[in-house]
Structure formats: structure tokens, C-alpha cells
């Protein structure tokens, strides 16, 4: 699932923040919750079970106030008397999350703001013959406020790395026992390190066949053609924990710039035109995509999203004696991402690593600690 950290990281770069703890680390609040609502009706009990999990990056403000933004992921399972007439599939949803709170001594007291998280699935209706079974989209909303409500006592957790806490509600009856609700949410607070990785390099595709024409006036009757791709990538990622116990938490591509350039020495003989197609790529297709990762000791290895910058061209003769038959090379840059994803980088601010393969691929990677 895609996780949207861009807004948080932009805010982080623009505003110097007061640290939560004496270590100077920012904090990530993670949570896992399970709850249920049951209704006692004329046909027996019915209800819905909900599981939710997610995270929020906490941003300190003035006078002990703080806010946070993150993501929540929800599944809903319906529990009702099975009659065979209809059924509802599991509903799944995800959305953004906002946290508001303040410090209270050595604790953080907080709540989740009201928000509708759409959860989608299907309702299956079994009609009598000859109509048969019919499936329709089904949607229900979930409000994350129930996991950490703003009313007293609210939710709280100790302000330190590795702290855990639980907020429980119910079982509580409403409407003279007709409706019963219960929730339990486990929270964890971890220090967060924010890192930036900058990559620049190039890949040259020389795998395409040359232009072949028997009317060419050279001995080989061929004209070589290749494509040079210049890459510039910036990624940002988050680690939680301390020292050698740190773990990779999240990452994304912050920006991407890929510049293709044709390597060809005979423009007087052929003009070259780019062929547009429905699957043309754009740097925007890569920006915002998730980056995976793994921390081992004091090194990190990042898994960049797969991406192939495919380019289609048509080489058209300029000279009448060369005829009219065009040459159609298709160039691509699909190895660059794979090679930089193999590198293991020491978690040292300012560390620079260079690498490549022969004379057709090279890169330089720099690691920068933002916090």
C-alpha cells in the first residue's frame, strides 16, 4: 500500500522542530486495533468486526501542543445470521490520518480527528431462479476517532522511545442492551530518523541493431546508434529504533529526472523522430512511488521501484539514394534501478558510494541524514 510521507517531509525541511526527547529524534506513533459492534435484533445478533492499523509522524508545536499525519488501513467483517439470501464480502479501506494532542508531564495525551475512511467490497444477493446471483459494490465508512477519542480520558502514552500503551473501550451497552460496542487499540512510540538518498548516473543502451542500408557509402553498410539515459533520483526514508537495532520503516521517491539523448554521428544522412505511444513514460510515474528497504547492523539496502524508460524512434533517410525504408529502434533503461538497489550503504551522514558496470552504466550515491 502506498504511504504518503511527502507532505510530512516537506514540512520537516521547511521548519526547524523542537525534539520530543533528549535524543533529538522525531517520533513515529504506530497502532494496531480490533473492535466490534453488535446489535440484538428480532432475527438474532448481528454486527461488524473491525481491524485497523497504521502510523503517524508526530510534529511538535508550541506550548506542548503537537499534531501528526499518517495512514490508516482498515478491514471490516460482517457477522450476521446466514440465510443464503445475501452475503457481504470483507470490506477494505485506507486513508490519511490526523493526530492532535499535547504533553502532560512525561506523557503524550492525544486523539484521532474525525474522518470518513471509505471501506469497499461487494454485496452478493441470491435471487430465485431464473435471476440467479447478483453482485453489487458495497461501501461503508469507518471513523478512526473511535480508536483514540478526544473525550476524557482519551489516549496517552509515555514520552520515550519504545513506549507502549493501550486504549480500551467497553464492552458498553447502548439502547437498553440492544447495541454493544467494544474496542482495544495498542500503541507504540519509536524514535524516527529521516534520511535522504541522492543518486546520479547514466545508462547507455547499445543493444539495438545499427541502421543497415546497402546504399550507404561506407564499407560496413551500417550506422551505429545508441541511447544515453541521464538519471537523477532523490529518495527519502524513515528508520525507527536506535543504533544497530534500527529498522527500516518507510520510504518513497521524492523526485526523479531522466533525460534520454541519442548517440548518433550521421545526422546528415538520417533524421530521427520519436514515436509516441500509449505506454510512454514520465518522471511523474516514478515520483511518489514507495521505496522498500532493509537495515542490517549499520548499513541500509534500498529497494527502488522497478522502472523502465522505454523510448521508440524512427530513423528516416534524408538522401534520396538511401531510399525510403525507415529504421525503428526501441531503446530502454531498465538496468539502472536494479544496480542501485543492490548497493548496501553505511548509515553515515554524507557517505558517498560510486559504482557501475563496464563503460555502459555508472552511478554515484550520496546519503544525507535529515534528522
Q: What is the pLDDT of residues 209-237, one digit of tens each?
A: 999 999 999 999 999 999 999 999 999 99
pLDDT of residue 44: 56
Please state, for a pLDDT cut of 70, what percent of the chain lies above it: 87
pLDDT of residue 371: 67
pLDDT of residue 194: 85
Q: Which string of DSSP letters, residue by residue, matches 293-304?
A: EEEETTEEEEEP
Of 199, 210, 215, 208, the C-alpha closest to 338 is 199
More confident residue, 175 or 193: 193
Contact between 240 and 190 under an 8 Å Cβ cutoff? The reply is: yes
Mean pLDDT of 272-283: 86
Among 150-159, 163-172, 263-272, the range scoring the smallest mean pLDDT is 150-159
Q: What is the pLDDT of residues 52-93, one digit of tens each?
A: 999 898 877 777 788 889 899 999 998 876 666 778 889 999
pLDDT of residue 193: 83
Question: Exposed e or buried b for every residue in 166-198, given b needs 16+ CB within 10 A?
Answer: ebeeeeeeeeeeeebbebebebbbbbbbbbbbb
What is the rounded end-to-end Cα distance, in angstroms, of the chain?
25
pTM, 2 dp: 0.62
More confident residue, 39 or 17: 39
What's the mean per-residue pLDDT of the chain?
A: 84
Q: What is the pLDDT of residues 301-359, one digit of tens each?
A: 999 999 988 999 999 999 999 999 999 999 999 899 999 999 999 999 999 999 999 99
pLDDT of residue 1: 35
pLDDT of residue 13: 32
Is the predicted pLDDT of residue 174 greater than 70, yes or no?
A: no
pLDDT of residue 60: 76
Reported as a pLDDT band with limits 50, 70 and 90, residue 204 is very high
Mean pLDDT of 37-44: 65
Q: Please report, for the chain, the start and end positions of each structural domain, with discontinuous segments joined by +.
A: 6-190, 193-369
pLDDT of residue 143: 92
Residue 157 contacts by C-beta under 8 Å, 6 or more apart in sequence?
29, 107, 108, 110, 163, 164, 165, 187, 189
pLDDT of residue 216: 95
| Torsion over CA: 54, 55, 61, 66 (sign) | positive
More confident residue, 86 or 361: 361
pLDDT of residue 108: 85
Highest mean pLDDT among 105-109, 124-128, 209-213: 209-213
Fold of 6-190: Porin (2.40.160)
Q: Which string of DSSP letters, residue by residue, matches 225-276?
A: -EEEEEEEEEEEEEEESSGGG-EEEEEEEEEEEEEEEEE-S-TTTEEEEEPP
Is the predicted pLDDT of residue 290 greater than 80, yes or no?
A: yes
pLDDT of residue 7: 33
Mean pLDDT of 38-47: 66
Is the predicted pLDDT of residue 11 greater than 60, yes or no?
A: no
Cell numbers for 78, please give them: 460482517
Question: Exposed e or buried b for every residue in 21-33, given b needs 16+ CB within 10 A?
Answer: eeeebbbbbbbeb
Mean pLDDT of 8-28: 40
* Residue 29 CA: distances (Å) to CA of 9, 97, 240, 299: 16, 11, 10, 24
pLDDT of residue 81: 66
Is the predicted pLDDT of residue 95 greater than 70, yes or no?
A: yes
pLDDT of residue 195: 92
pLDDT of residue 367: 96
Mean pLDDT of 136-149: 90
Amino acid at each position: 500500500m502506498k504511504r504518503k510521507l511527502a507532505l510530512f517531509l516537506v514540512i520537516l525541511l521547511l521548519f526547524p522542530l523542537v525534539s520530543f526527547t533528549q535524543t533529538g529524534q522525531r517520533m513515529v506513533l504506530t497502532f494496531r486495533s480490533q473492535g466490534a459492534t453488535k446489535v440484538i435484533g428480532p432475527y438474532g445478533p448481528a454486527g461488524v468486526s473491525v481491524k485497523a492499523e497504521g502510523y503517524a509522524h508526530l510534529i511538535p508545536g508550541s506550548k506542548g501542543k503537537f499534531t501528526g499525519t499518517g495512514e490508516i488501513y482498515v478491514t471490516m467483517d460482517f457477522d450476521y445470521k446466514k440465510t443464503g439470501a445475501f452475503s457481504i464480502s470483507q470490506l477494505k479501506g485506507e486513508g490519511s490520518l490526523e493526530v492532535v494532542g499535547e504533553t502532560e508531564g512525561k506523557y503524550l495525551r492525544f486523539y484521532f480527528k474525525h474522518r470518513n475512511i471509505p471501506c469497499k467490497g461487494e454485496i452478493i444477493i441470491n435471487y430465485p431462479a431464473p435471476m440467479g446471483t447478483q453482485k453489487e459494490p458495497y461501501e461503508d465508512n469507518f471513523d478512526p476517532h473511535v480508536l483514540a477519542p478526544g473525550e476524557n480520558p482519551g489516549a496517552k502514552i509515555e514520552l520515550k522511545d519504545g513506549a507502549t500503551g493501550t486504549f480500551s473501550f467497553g464492552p458498553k451497552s447502548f439502547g437498553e442492551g440492544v447495541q454493544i460496542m467494544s474496542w482495544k487499540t495498542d500503541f507504540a512510540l519509536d524514535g524516527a530518523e529521516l534520511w535522504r538518498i541522492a543518486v546520479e548516473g547514466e545508462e547507455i543502451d547499445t543493444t539495438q541493431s545499427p541502421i543497415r542500408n546497402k546504399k550507404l557509402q561506407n564499407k560496413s553498410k551500417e550506422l551505429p546508434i545508441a541511447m544515453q539515459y541521464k538519471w537523477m533520483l532523490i529518495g527519502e526514508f524513515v528508520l525507527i529504533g536506535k543504533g544497530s537495532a534500527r529498522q527500516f520503516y518507510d520510504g518513497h521517491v521524492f523526485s526523479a529526472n531522466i533525460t534520454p539523448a541519442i548517440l548518433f554521428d550521421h545526422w546528415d544522412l538520417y533524421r530521427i523522430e520519436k514515436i509516441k505511444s500509449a505506454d510512454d513514460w514520465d518522471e511523474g510515474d516514478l515520483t511518489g512511488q514507495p521505496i522498500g528497504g532493509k537495515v542490517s547492523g549499520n548499513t541500509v539496502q534500498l529497494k527502488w521501484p522497478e522502472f523502465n524508460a522505454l523510448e521508440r524512434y524512427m530513423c528516416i533517410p534524408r538522401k534520396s539514394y538511401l531510399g525510403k525504408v525507415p529504421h525503428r529502434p526501441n531503446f530502454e533503461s531498465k538496468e539502472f534501478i536494479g544496480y542501485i538497489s543492490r548497493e548496501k550503504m553505511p548509515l553515515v551522514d554524507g557517505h558517498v558510494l560510486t559504482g557501475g558496470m563496464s563503460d555502459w552504466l555508472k552511478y554515484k550515491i550520496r546519503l544525507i541524514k535529515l534528522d
